[in-house]
Amino acid sequence: MPRSQNSKIGVTTLEDISALILQSHDLDETLRNIVTLVAKRMRTNVCSIYLLDPDNVTLRLQATKGLSSKAVGKVTLQIGEGLTGMAAQKRHAIAIEEPQEHPSYRYFKETGEERFHSFLGIPLFDRNNPLGVIVLQTKEPRQFNKEEISALSTIAFQISSIVVNARLLDSIRKHEQESKRVSQALDKAQESIELHANDVEENPQNVLSGNVAYPGVAIGPAAILEERLGFADILHEEEVDVQAELKNLESALEKTCIQTIFLEKRVAERLSESDAAIFHTHLMILEDRSFIKKLQDEINDGHSAAYALEKTVSNYIEAFEKMEDNYLRERAADMEDIGRRILANLVGDTADQTLHLKHPSILVARQILPSDMAALDNEQILAIITEDSEKNSHAVIMAKSMGIPAIVAVRGALKNIAPEDDLVVDGSSGKLYINPLETIKEEYQRLQDDQNRELCRLEEYRDQPAMTADGQRIILRANIGLISDINVAKRFGAEGVGLYRTEFPYMARGDFPNREDQYELYSKVVKEFKGQPVTIRTLDIGGDKGLPYFSPPKEDNPFMGWRSVRVSLDNRDIFRTQIEAILMAGNDGPVKLLFPMISSLDETRACLEVIEEAKQNLMKDGLAYSDDVPIGVMIEVPAAVRLVAQLANHVDFFALGTNDLIQYLLAADRNNPLVSKYYDPLHPAVLQVLYEVTDTASSLGKGVCLCGEMASDPLTMILLIGMGLREFSMPAPFIPRIKAFLKGVSLEVACKHYTEIHAMESSNQIRQHLGEILEDVELGY
């Protein structure tokens, strides 16, 4: 079978499996559907799934297409027994032609498998524990090729998560009593939170407070990012005024069409034409006569417009989901999106705010998802206020890169703030004033003017190189995520891009971008930086970054789970396509390729292998690409710290991802306010690890760029340059301040201070010492 066809099989089968899961919640039925689908797609006579019994040693035939159905549930073998057991024991694929001639072959009369002359078995895992085996067999003798093994491995991965989830659900049901108890406890906790919120409400001055995520002062009207309204919120109305409802519908459809045209235009400007194309499809649906007629018919039957919408859209979604054709099936998600937007207009909900602010406003939300940030118009956002605590989340990281003040964990914000309320955000103390007295406003206006003057003063640093007082050159690059970050980065004088988080453009879309789309985007970034390097990081989804069209499995610990390069390596086609686009962009300027979340040499080798495959594909397709793009890995998992010397044999540079490294080293979730005091960049262990990586890498002649958020803190900068780091990447608005700061510090003094704190045992001691230094340093600002 040709290679491209095989890769397609992998991806389309995965999509089909996702659709099957939607249709069924029963594990046996799902597995039966999966084996039928996989046998058809892989063109084999047999596909079977064996699952491990609770005793952890017995594999039991759980579903089969091609073997006798009577064998299901009966045929068992031990781990290590037969070829299937061997795949589970050896934890890798077993592909054999004429399996009956193999010494480990074991025959089961019940299955009728003597007719089959080829065998491919791939183990299934739950995290690292064996879970079962998926087996393919064919009547003709044949060897399964590399691509088929890779496609089946990806499918195996998805099946594993289905099994794990189904078992989880099962155990949840069994422990209903327990969960009841837990939910009662949660209710109590919620009551106490609400009590706290009431305290806030009674605050006569209408001042709320939270944690500063990005400093600065902002004054302006509030825009509330409403929580998405769902169809479940619609109530069936008994008595409706048909004419009024028909009119309502007409006006909601019209508004939705206009908004969709705006959306299309804005996404085309901020991302690309092809990203915006999805809204064109939405317009077609909105203007489709039969869609409109169905809605009208429901209303004429005596239902409200909202109810008619819910019913019609749900029918469409259901019908789309059942379609064979991939393209049509994907339209189900579009229908949902359109339905929600019409609904928002019907009930007068300002859902349009999620993408379009009428004038510069302070955005108030329970939570801002990275995909919201990808879609919002950053020119119109003056500041961000969230109720949830997400100081180190990607939404806040993006706010920082746009230079927008942000306060998080502002309890009671949504309850106390109405749209267009006058707000003052004090992003140094973490205070938020709602409709404040004129005197307070004036005071902050003065502060804001000072701040603007300060920014103008820092402007002078934009075109100057970053340099310490004694002339040591330091490189400061920008962390970017969206096309609109390019201008911000240039405005603040970044020397190229040290970290391009490619997941954000993926988030603002309806499906995976193809090679051309990705190339267009990366090439645009590279060309804009005119000869300055751009480090493009491959997809880093999972953790707190999801894609609307690629739902990750439900996991207890997503940050420890199936995220980042792990997802990429399990979806090789998607991974290879992205690498191809990056290598192509390398032809347009100095690109560096960066892999996130690397935790082993094997993973690194696997990534390098995918680069080779990508090059071969590009060569085969006759496309221009750069053959000497430097390759780097992120050091953000503690295991990678220990492997720097070995990794240096395989890669050209390292990027220190301290946001994750700190959370993994200190076992403190970067987004969890309950443990934020444990998430400490100045923890002696963190500093020692950073030193270890810097020292080892530079002794081996490899570059290291620190691209976590701690690079933007002048307090830590003194230690970082003292320990030998010379290259940093940060949200661009911090660059002028850091340049100004560096001008007042000599490298010699920084080294001396680093040596002093190196021996210290606690972060308090370190912090105190730094405070004393800072008082002495002639600050440049």
Asked if residue 773 lies in contact with residue 682, where contact means CB atoms within 8 angstroms, the answer is: no
Q: Which stretch binds ligand PEP (CB under 6 A): 280-288, 295-303, 569-577, 651-659?
A: 651-659
Residue 660 interacting with ligand PEP (CB under 6 A): yes
Q: Which is nearer to ligand PEP, 64 or 663 (CB)?
A: 663
DSSP of 734-746? GHHHHHHHHHT--
* Distance (Å, whole) CA 4 – CA 336: 32
Residue 372 interacting with ligand PEP (CB under 6 A): no
Q: Which stretch binds ligand PEP (CB under 6 A): 28-36, 69-77, 260-268, 655-663?
A: 655-663
Asked if residue 690 lies in contact with residue 658, where contact means CB atoms within 8 angstroms, the answer is: yes
* Distance (Å, whole) CA 24 – CA 99: 34
Q: According to CB under 5 A, which one of 113, 334, 603, 660 is a site residue for Mg ion?
A: 660
Smallest gap from Cβ 636 to Mg ion, in A, equals 5
**Tokens encoding 615:** 């090059």
What does 259 bind: ligand PEP, Mg ion, none (CB cut-off 5 to 8 Å by kind)? none
* Distance (Å, whole) CA 497 – CA 528: 11
Q: How many residues bind ligand PEP (CB under 6 A)?
A: 10
Q: Which is nearer to Mg ion, 136 or 594 (CB)?
A: 594
Cβ partners under 8 Å of residue 455, min gap 6: 736
Asked if residue 333 lies in contact with residue 342, where contact means CB atoms within 8 angstroms, the answer is: no
Q: Where do we find the tokens 């307090």?
A: 715
* Distance (Å, whole) CA 110 – CA 132: 20
Phi and psi at residue 696, in whole multiples of 5°? -65, -45
Residue 160 interacting with ligand PEP (CB under 6 A): no
Q: Which stretch binds ligand PEP (CB under 6 A): 15-23, 33-41, 150-158, 652-660?
A: 652-660
What does 708 bind: ligand PEP, Mg ion, none (CB cut-off 5 to 8 Å by kind)? ligand PEP
Distances (CA, A) of 78 to 69, 112, 465: 20, 19, 66
Q: Which of 47, 607, 705, 707 is catalytic?
A: 707
Q: According to CB under 6 A, which one of 41, 400, 411, 501 is a site residue for ligand PEP?
A: 501
Element (H, E) at 283: helix 273-286
Binding mask 619-638 for Mg ion (x = CB under 5 A): -----------------x--
Q: Which of 117, 282, 303, 394 is catalytic?
A: 394
Q: Which pairing describes strands 631-635 and 653-656: parallel, antiparallel, or unpaired? A: parallel
Q: Which is nearer to Mg ion, 432 or 598 (CB)?
A: 598
DSSP of 521-546? HHHHHHHHTTTS-EEEEPP--BTTB-
Q: Which stretch binds Mg ion (CB under 5 A): 30-38, 355-363, 386-394, 659-667?
A: 659-667
* Distance (Å, whole) CA 360 – CA 213: 20
Residue 669 interacting with Mg ion (CB under 5 A): no
Q: How many CA atoms lie within 13 A of 128 on its CB side?
A: 1
Q: Would residue 607 show up in a list of annotated catalytic residues for this protein?
A: no
Q: Which is nearer to Mg ion, 262 or 559 (CB)?
A: 559
Distance of CA 463 to the CA centre of its chain: 33
Taking CB atoms, the residue at the shortest distance from Mg ion is 660
* Distance (Å, whole) CA 706 – CA 133: 42
Smallest gap from Cβ 315 to ligand PEP, in A, equals 40
Q: Would residue 257 show up in a list of annotated catalytic residues for this protein?
A: no
Smallest gap from Cβ 503 to ligand PEP, in A, equals 8
Q: According to CB under 6 A, which one of 426, 636, 669, 727 is a site residue for ligand PEP?
A: 636
Q: Which is nearer to Mg ion, 132 or 657 (CB)?
A: 657
Residue 499 interacting with ligand PEP (CB under 6 A): yes
Distances (CA, A) of 70 to 151, 632, 769: 29, 53, 74
Site for ligand PEP in 527-566 (CB under 6 A): 540
What are the residue ranges of helices labelled H in 547-598? 565-570, 572-585
Residue 498 interacting with ligand PEP (CB under 6 A): no
Binding mask 680-709 for ligand PEP (x = CB under 6 A): ---------------------------xx-
Residue 681 interacting with Mg ion (CB under 5 A): no
What does 147 bind: ligand PEP, Mg ion, none (CB cut-off 5 to 8 Å by kind)? none
Smallest gap from Cβ 634 to Mg ion, in A, equals 6
Distance of CA 320 to the CA centre of its chain: 27
DSSP of 466-517? PB-TT--B-EEEEEE-STHHHHHHHHTT--SEEEEETHHHHHTSSS---HHH
Q: According to CB under 5 A, which one of 436, 513, 657, 681 is a site residue for Mg ion?
A: 657
Q: According to CB under 6 A, which one of 658, 671, 712, 716 is a site residue for ligand PEP?
A: 658
In the complex, which residues of this chain contact ligand PEP (CB under 6 A)? 499, 501, 540, 636, 657-660, 707-708
> Catalytic residue positions?
394, 707
Residue ranges that bind Mg ion, judged by CB under 5 A: 636, 657, 660
